[in-house]
Amino acid sequence: MEKGFRVKIFAQKIGTTHLYTDQGKHQVVTALKLLKTIVGKIKSVEVDGYNSLVLIQPNEKAKPKKTITGQFKGHNVRKIIEERTDEKSEARVNDEFSSVNLKVGDQISIVATTKGKGFQGTVKRHGFQTGPKTHGSRNYRRPGSIGMTTPSRIPVGKKMAGHMGAVKNTAKKVQVERVDEKTDIIWVKGHIAGPNRGQIVIVK
């Protein structure tokens, strides 16, 4: 691949399992299903002011939209990501990225969305200590004081109850343990954020 380009592939998390390496070592791994990722558009400095590849995930089941099909030459798109390059890319429109671009031992980054936990208190969200349960204490899971007399307002960034989870998470230097080119499934070392069947992006 040309200089300054990172391969990005759409994928779906299958789940966590385990396997044994060639040395007989037990290893926890996460199975990922690589989804179809093709080059939808190529941008250049002469036309757009910068070099980049627009990668798309086709969606054959959904009804095509005219605004999308016109932009990507007949493809109905589920997701779009853009990757800037230092130089003009040698790739062509409709080129596809798959498990062929990955091999055992590769170090990759995985961008995922963590599980949503909803509205949570300070004990679960930030790990606050709880108060005593006995002697009539009513301060078991309350956050306590949240400010002072001066400046008579809550400081910015104060740890309080609120929405937890459903945030972007990037795991770096994740090692590929096994690749199945027939089924486009790879196994990576360790746990990956997000629910099973959740959409992720693999960056090489």
> Residues 19-70: pLDDT tens digits?
988 888 899 999 999 988 888 777 877 777 888 778 887 777 766 666 666 6
Spell out the SS3 assignment of 145-180: CCCCCCCCCCCCCCCCCEEEECCEEEEEEEEEEEEE
pLDDT of residue 52: 79
Assigned fold of 8-118+169-203: Elongation Factor Tu (Ef-tu); domain 3 (2.40.30)
- pLDDT at residue number 2: 47
Residues 89-134 have pLDDT tens digits of 677 777 777 666 788 888 999 999 999 999 999 999 999 999 998 9
pLDDT at 188 over 70: yes
pLDDT of residue 109: 93
Examine residue 155 and say whether the peptide bond preceding it is cis (omega within 30 degrees of 0). Answer: no
Domain ranges of the chain: 8-118+169-203, 119-165
Mean pLDDT of the chain: 84
Based on the number of CB atoms within 10 Å of its own CB, is 101 exposed (0-12), middle (13-18) or buried (19 or more)? middle
| Cα gap 110→176, rounded to integer Å | 11
Summarize pLDDT for 134-150 with one digit per residue, the tens.
998 888 999 988 888 88
